[in-house]
């Protein structure tokens, strides 16, 4: 009956939400339990953070560019094209770069976490960890959470810088705006809080990517097909959480501190 499947879906949703929340708490608490595996953390900082820079660069430069292009022509209709720099700066730092960087990490990193941990589950490597007296959450999840709590805000700041640079390039080279006008408008309207509020969101998005990827990896069942299913689910769930929570973050965080 449709009612039954709706009930089952609701139950699964509540259960998965609870499990993800609990895993986040367990992984976070283990940050304060010594010893912290610095070797694993630095490996994830490099593999998941530094190696994500090229894709964040491309995403940011083109987002900044296209936003400038579209904003310029839209504002031109109102005779307000001089405000292009203001609009681009605030939109990028507050909203677009944190969310798009979060989605990029969901696609690249959440998928790799769920596939790697899922493969370890189906080949009994996670059970083996347990039999060596090693807590799989502390060994597998905590280093990933720490790495993304550090790298997600740094990648967002990197994306902010590259996005604005891309916007300025298009402003100057494509729509032939005065470079000083773009910059002066940008700095006049951009507040430090715009950047900070984007970074606050990115910390949450980084945590989401790490925990959701690890959760679906640890829950993997049924061999290669199970690993594929876990990977797809992790990417979809992490992306949905990022998009939905972004709205609530935008409601909760004040627009300006002035």
Partner 1 sequence: MIKIRGLHKSFAANPVLRGVDLDILAGQTTTVIGGSGSGKSVLFKHIIGLMKPDAGSVLVDGVNMSALRERELYGVIARFGMVFQGGALFDSMTVGENVAFGVPGRAGMTAAAIQELIDHSLSQVGLSGISQLMPAELSGGMKKRVAIARAIAKRPAILMFDEPTTGLDPIMADVINDLIIKVSADPGITSVVITHNMASAYKISDKIAVLYAGRIIETGSAAEIRATTNGIVRQFIEGRATGPIPTG
The CB-of-116 to partner 1 minimum distance in angstroms stands at 9
Q: Using the minimum distance from each CB to partner 1, give the nearer residue, 79 or 133.
A: 133
The CB-of-175 to partner 1 minimum distance in angstroms stands at 49
The CB-of-36 to partner 1 minimum distance in angstroms stands at 13
Residues that contact partner 1, how many (by CB under 8 A): 12
CA angle 227, 11, 223 (to 5 degrees): 15
The number of beta carbons lying within 10 Å of the beta carbon of residue 213 is 32
Q: Please report, as residue ranges, which positions from 172 to 211 form the binding site for partner 1 (by CB under 8 A).
A: none
The CB-of-130 to partner 1 minimum distance in angstroms stands at 6
Q: Using the minimum distance from each CB to partner 1, give the nearer residue, 16 or 40.
A: 40
Q: Is 198 helix (H, G, I), strand (E, B) or coil?
A: helix
CB 206, CB 151: distance < 8 Å: yes
Q: Using the minimum distance from each CB to partner 1, give the nearer residue, 2 or 35.
A: 35
The CB-of-34 to partner 1 minimum distance in angstroms stands at 12
Angstrom distances, CA of residue 148 to CA of 32, 46, 47, 186: 16, 11, 11, 29
The CB-of-4 to partner 1 minimum distance in angstroms stands at 15
Residue 174: both structure tokens together: 């494509």
Contacts of 220 (CB under 8 A, 6+ apart): 114, 117, 118, 119, 121, 122, 226, 227, 229, 230
Handedness of CA 202, 207, 210, 212 (dihedral sign): negative
Q: Using the minimum distance from each CB to partner 1, give the nearer residue, 132 or 247.
A: 132
Residue 111: both structure tokens together: 């998928």
Burial class of residue 7 (count of CB atoms within 10 Å of its CB; 0-12, 13-18, 19+): exposed
The CB-of-178 to partner 1 minimum distance in angstroms stands at 54
First-to-last alpha carbon distance for the chain, in angstroms, is 55
Q: Using the minimum distance from each CB to partner 1, give the nearer residue, 38 or 124.
A: 124
Q: Using the minimum distance from each CB to partner 1, give the nearer residue, 30 or 94.
A: 30
Q: Is 31 one of the binding residues for partner 1 (CB under 8 A)? A: no
Q: Please report, as residue ranges, which positions from 114 to 143 form the binding site for partner 1 (by CB under 8 A).
A: 120, 123-125, 127-128, 130-135
Q: Using the minimum distance from each CB to partner 1, give the nearer residue, 113 or 204.
A: 113
Q: Which residues bind partner 1 (CB under 8 A)?
A: 120, 123-125, 127-128, 130-135
């Amino acid at each position: 009956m449709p009612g039954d499947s709706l009930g089952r879906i609701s139950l699964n949703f509540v259960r998965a939400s609870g499990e993800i929340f609990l895993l986040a708490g367990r992984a976070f608490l283990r940050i304060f339990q010594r010893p912290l595996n610095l070797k694993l953390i630095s490996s994830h900082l490099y593999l998941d953070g530094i190696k994500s820079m090229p894709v964040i660069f491309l995403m940011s430069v083109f987002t900044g560019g296209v936003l400038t292009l579209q904003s310029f022509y839209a504002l031109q209709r109102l005779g307000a094209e001089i405000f292009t720099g203001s609009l681009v700066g605030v939109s990028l730092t507050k909203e677009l770069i944190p969310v798009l960087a979060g989605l990029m990490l969901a696609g690249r990193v959440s998928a790799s976490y769920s596939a790697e941990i899922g493969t370890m589950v189906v080949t009994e490597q996670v059970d083996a960890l347990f039999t060596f007296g090693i807590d799989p959450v502390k060994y597998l999840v905590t280093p990933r959470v720490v790495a993304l709590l550090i790298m997600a805000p740094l990648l967002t700041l990197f994306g902010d810088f590259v996005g604005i640079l891309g916007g300025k390039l298009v402003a100057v080279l494509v729509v032939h705006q005065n470079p000083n006008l773009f910059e002066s408008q940008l700095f006049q309207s951009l507040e430090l809080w715009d950047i900070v509020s984007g970074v606050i969101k990115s910390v949450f998005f980084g945590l989401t990517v790490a925990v959701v990827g690890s959760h679906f990896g640890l829950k993997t069942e049924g061999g290669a097909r199970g690993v594929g299913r876990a990977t797809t689910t992790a990417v979809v769930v992490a992306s949905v959480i990022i998009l939905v929570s972004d709205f609530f973050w935008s409601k909760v965080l004040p627009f300006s501190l002035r």
